Amino acid sequence: MECLNDSTPDVRDSSFSVLTAIAKMVGMKPLERSLEKLDDVRKKKLSDMIGSATDTVLSSGTVPTSSSGAATSAREVTDSSTMRRSAASMLSGKKPIHAAAPAKKSGPAKSTAKKTDGGPQSKASAAPEIEDVEPSEMSLEEIEERLNSVVKTETISQLKSTVWKERLEAIGMLKQDVENLTELDKSAELLVRLLCAVPGWNEKNVQVQQQVIEVITYIASTVKKFPKRCVVLCLLGISERVADIKTRAPAMKCLTAFCEAVGPGFVFERLYKIMKEHKNPKVLSEGILWMVSAVEDFGTSNLKLKDIIDFCKDTGLQSSAAATRNSTIKLIGMLHKFVGPDIKGFLSDVKPALLSALDAEYEKNPFEGAAAPPKRTVRALDTASSTSAASSDGLPREDISSKITPALLKNLGSPDWKLRLESIEAVNKIVEEAHKRIQPTGTVDLFTALRGRLNDSNKNLVMATLSSIGVLASAMGPSVEKSSKGILADVLKCIGDNKKHMRECTLTALDSWVAATQLDKMVPYIAVALGDQKSGSEGRKDLFDWLSKHVSKMSDPAEALPLLKPSASSLMDKSSEVRKAAETFMNEVLKICGQAAVAKNLRDLPSPTMAIVAERLKLSSVHEGISDSVKTVTTSMSLPSKGGLKNIKPGLNDRSSNVGKAASQRGVPARASVTMISSQDSLQSQALFNIKDSNKEDRERRVLVRKFKFEEPRREQIDELKVDLFKHFREDVSLRLWNSDFKRQIDGIELLQKALPSSGKEVVELLDILLRWFVLRFCESNTTCLLKVLDFLPELFDGLKDQSYMLTEAEAAIFLPCLIEKSGHNIEKVREKMGELIKQMINIYSLPKLLPYILEGLRSKNNRTRIECVDIIGYFMDHNGTEVWIPPP
């Protein structure tokens, strides 16, 4: 349809040809709605093409000589001509004129048609005829004449008798005759017409009434196809019998038999009008009570829910009779059991008192959905009812495409924020008016416009947009995924906002989305969000917490495995809350997927990362892929480090005996401990620093930082630091420095302190990596580790001074902004150490170059930082005099 407007003539012609072929194959009825959008010129062209294509088929075909072939050919001619007339009439807007079928006038044609009943037929001829449900007039004399061979004349005479006992005897005899009939289908409608005439629905005797209803019930439940005309003939009388307590039970049973024969949808549809217009209020109240049992028996798959909800709202709940209102509340409660809480959206405008009663009824009938299979089934469904059942996914959804006007879409992008807000509210109102159940038609452009509002400079509008997106997702259901064109990625970006209310709005929108589409479909977007450095630590923490709640509800747990790798990198996040939330989520995945699946998914992670994951999640199978050295260090991390390993003498025998003793005291086998120490010996024999492939200049170019002004390390910078650390430092040192336990970090610093005097050249080469790691420690809140770093840094700077080394511009830009910003620490001891460190910096970085960093500190939001910077400038003025005023080269 879209290609009919293409600028290329060949594309337009091809599109017309495709539509012609589709029309020839399936007929014009399925295309009716789409073709309404065409202009008159295109309609005429398409009509001509369909007609000429059909003529070509007819003229090019050969005429078969067999009788069955002749019938098929004749049928094809009829079908093709019918389709051609249908196409022309549909495209022109006029109703087709139906010609009389020639088969009735031609005897041979009729006989050949019968012969081909068992053979293959075209789709057009295979379609069943629509049943005429309105009964025609038929006199009692005609009925008696047709039933002459089935029912005795005496029986019919007695049914007309004024003596009730004779009528009762006659109906008993008729019941026996009906039960003994072998071909009841042929006489079913006539028998029902007879009973509706004599004794008829005005019968006063209860026993006769009961017998009449039982005979009709037997016929309806026995015949293969019960005509709908019979149901129409009986419904008024049966509904009146339902209102009478004496005949209520058999009448309700008869209505249920009708539902099994023709479907509850037809019975309900006919009863609505009868119950609305009847003067007896009990017809309405008791009829609705029967509907409650019918819904419970047959479910809602064969019902038009919109009609039954409208009937309940407009008739049942508006009734002045309390019995009718109570029956209606029970019916709505039963509907809730099958269709769920979405039904509440259609009843939001009823009176508050009724809403309270409905809520109580919902609690009595909690939503079961597929877990509540129908108790009864319909024996035969016609095409119309089966189509309506198949096309409905429960409650009806409204097409809102006409309300999504170009003006609304334009106002969503208006420069005036008030217009933008009004447009967002208009979207919410449209969904509300549709009872929060909408079709995806026409919503693609709406989602595109809303996506732009997720980047709005007005944060309140962003939160309103998130709310609207959540409402749309709930209203559309699973189809929102295709219509939204990946808007979920933009929604997840809002999780990185520093405002808590914004993050809460994002999580609420995600709740609506996961309820509509399931978490499986959201995994690719979430995996990207977890790895996005712009999703701040608070946002990632909130997202991990949200995932932990929902991951266990996934239909296929294996779909969660792609989230493991971004989660594994978060185990080494600088924020302890993020690390904890990531660990909790990974443990949830471990529960539902098992160790084998998790280990297989994480097997290609770098060894150090895998070691930390294995330690946190206690994955035994992952250890198989880790080198012995990493296993050793990971194991040693979980054991006390100050007991025996530090004070062991160099002798092998002594070491073995001491370790064995210490290990036995801790309950660890001595042999395992000896193996562990042997592995550590192999580590200790390696160099602490690896500068073989080091290229400091490349690293400094790669690490982009803002000069002078401090910024928190970004996610990708932290990941790069981790790679560089494990590449250029010995494995046991790297694992300690990158451990989330501050005690292990202190152990790593102590190893560096010991190696510092003898590794001057290596320290200079890898100084940028060390400074980046120190910046991470400055940004964390652990005071013990920070003090250890501040004790180590003066030794490091003294060592650099002894080598006459001066910091490069990149190294200064990495370290100095953080040092200046954190110099206003709230602990006095830390402030003093940082102040002394800044003063010591002039030994390895010239004062004129250092001063711009200190001056930038005067703009800090931290009052203590500004005070410290003023004091330091005063110190330099006192000790360095005019050098302070010399501008940097």
Interval 569-581: pLDDT, tens: 888 777 888 888 8
pLDDT reading at 727 higher than 80: yes
In the predicted structure, residue 271 carries a pLDDT above the cut 70: yes
Token output for 62: 């050969």
Note whether 46 and 91 are within 8 A (CB): yes
8 A C-beta contact, residue 194 and residue 219: no
One-letter-per-residue 3-state SS of 172-228:
HHHHHHHHHCCCHHHHHHHHHHHHHHHHHCCCCCHHHHHHHHHHHHHHHHHCCCCCH
Which pLDDT score, from 0 to 100, does residue 465 have? Answer: 93
Question: Which amino acid type is present at position 765?
Answer: E
Q: List pLDDT tens digits, range 455-495.
A: 888 999 999 999 999 999 988 888 888 888 778 889 999 98
Residues 606 and 636: beta-carbon distance below 8 Å: no
Instruction: Tell me what the mean pLDDT of segment 400-411 comes to.
Output: 90
Among residues 889, 884, 885, 887, which one has the least CA distance to residue 872?
Answer: 884
Question: Using CA atoms, how far apart are residues 529 and 807, in angstroms rounded to an integer?
Answer: 37
Question: For the ranges 432-441, 501-510, 602-611, which has the lowest average pLDDT?
Answer: 602-611
Rounded to the nearest angstrom, the gap between the alpha carbon of residue 778 and the centroid of all alpha carbons in its chain is 41
**pLDDT band per the 50, 70, 90 thresholds, residue 331:** very high
* 206-210, 351-355, 655-659 — most confident range: 206-210
Q: What is the pLDDT of residue 479?
A: 86
Higher confidence at residue 763 or residue 111? 763
pLDDT value, residue 324: 94
Whole-Å CA distances, 24 to 20, 39, 760: 6, 21, 86
Q: What angle do CA 8, 9, 12 make, to 5 degrees?
A: 95
pLDDT surpasses 50 at 65 = no
**Residue 527: predicted pLDDT:** 87
**Mean pLDDT of all residues in 24-28:** 75
Query: Worst-scoring range by mean pLDDT, 431-440, 793-802, 826-835?
Result: 431-440
Percent of the chain residues topping a pLDDT of 70: 79
Per-residue pLDDT, 475: 87
CA dihedral 341, 345, 350, 355 (to 10 degrees): 30
- Model confidence band, residue 49 (pLDDT cutoffs 50, 70, 90): confident
Lowest mean pLDDT among 45-49, 107-111, 254-258, 460-464: 107-111
317: left (phi over 0), alpha (psi -120 to 50) or beta: alpha
Fold of the CATH domain 705-885: Leucine-rich Repeat Variant (1.25.10)
Rounded CA gap, 312 and 302, in Å? Answer: 17
Mean per-residue pLDDT, 117-127: 40
pLDDT above 50 (res 637): no
DSSP code for 27: -
Q: How confident is the model at residue 267 (pLDDT cuts 50, 70, 90)?
A: very high
Q: Report the distance separating Cα 878 and Cα 874, nearest Å.
A: 6
Statement: residue 211 has pLDDT above 90:
yes
Q: To which CATH superfamily is domain 518-626 assigned?
A: Leucine-rich Repeat Variant (1.25.10.10)
pLDDT of 45 strictly over 70 = yes
**739-782 tens-digit pLDDT:** 888 889 999 999 898 888 888 888 888 998 899 899 989 988 78
pLDDT, tens digit (0-9, with 9 covering 90-100), for 645-695: 333 333 333 333 343 333 333 333 433 333 333 444 455 557 788 877 777
Question: In the predicted model, what is the mean pLDDT of the chain?
Answer: 78
* Positive/negative CA dihedral, 679, 683, 684, 686: positive
Kindly write down the DSSP assignment for every residue of 371-394, as one continuous string.
Answer: GS--SS--S---HHHHHHHHH--S
What is the average pLDDT across 398-418?
A: 90
Q: For position 101, what pLDDT does the model report?
A: 37
- The per-residue pLDDT for 656 is 36
pLDDT band at 885 (very low <50, low <70, confident <90, very high): low
- Summarize the confidence of residues 254-281 as an average pLDDT: 93
User: How does DSSP assign 407-459, residue by residue?
Assistant: HHHHHHT-SSHHHHHHHHHHHHHHHHHTTT-B-STT-HHHHHHHHHHTT-S-H
Q: What digits encode the pLDDT tens for the residues 375-389?
A: 888 886 543 444 333
CB under 8 Å to 281, separation ≥6 — which residues? 319, 321, 323, 324
> How wide is the angle at C-alpha 648 spanned by C-alphas 645 and 652, nearest 5°?
115
Most confident region among 22-36, 339-353, 693-707, 712-726 by mean pLDDT: 339-353
Look at 290 and 369; give whichever has higher pLDDT.
290
Residue-wise pLDDT for 537-564, tens only, equals 888 899 999 999 888 888 777 888 888 8
> Would the CATH topology of 397-517 be identical to that of 705-885?
yes
pLDDT for position 649:
34
Distance CA 167, CA 155 (A): 9
Q: How far apart are CA 176 and CA 216, in angstroms?
A: 13
Give buried/exposed letters for 531-556 (b at 16+ CB in 10 A, else e).
bbeebbbbbbbbbbebbbebbeebee
CATH of domain 225-391: 1.25.10.10
Q: What's the gap between Cα 665 and its chain centre?
A: 54
Residue bearing the bigger pLDDT, 107 or 223? 223
**pLDDT for 41 beyond 70:** yes
Poorest-pLDDT segment among 14-23, 210-219, 618-627, 682-691: 618-627
Amino acid at position 835, single letter: G
493-497, 531-535, 679-683, 879-883: which is most confident: 493-497
3-state secondary structure of 534: coil
Domain ranges of the chain: 2-118, 225-391, 397-517, 518-626, 705-885
The CA–CA distances, whole Å, from 328 to 320, 335, 357, 602 equal: 12, 11, 11, 57
Residue 548 vs residues 241, 501, 554, 585: alpha-carbon distances, Å: 58, 20, 11, 5
The string of DSSP letters for 730-765 reads -HHHHHHHT-SSHHHHHHHHHHHHHHGGG-HHHHHH
CA angle 134/140/143 to nearest 5° reads 75
More confident residue, 118 or 256: 256
Is 397-517 CATH 3.40.50.720?
A: no
Higher pLDDT, 429 or 659: 429
Burial 177-190 (b: 16+ CB within 10 A, else e): bbeebeebeebbbb
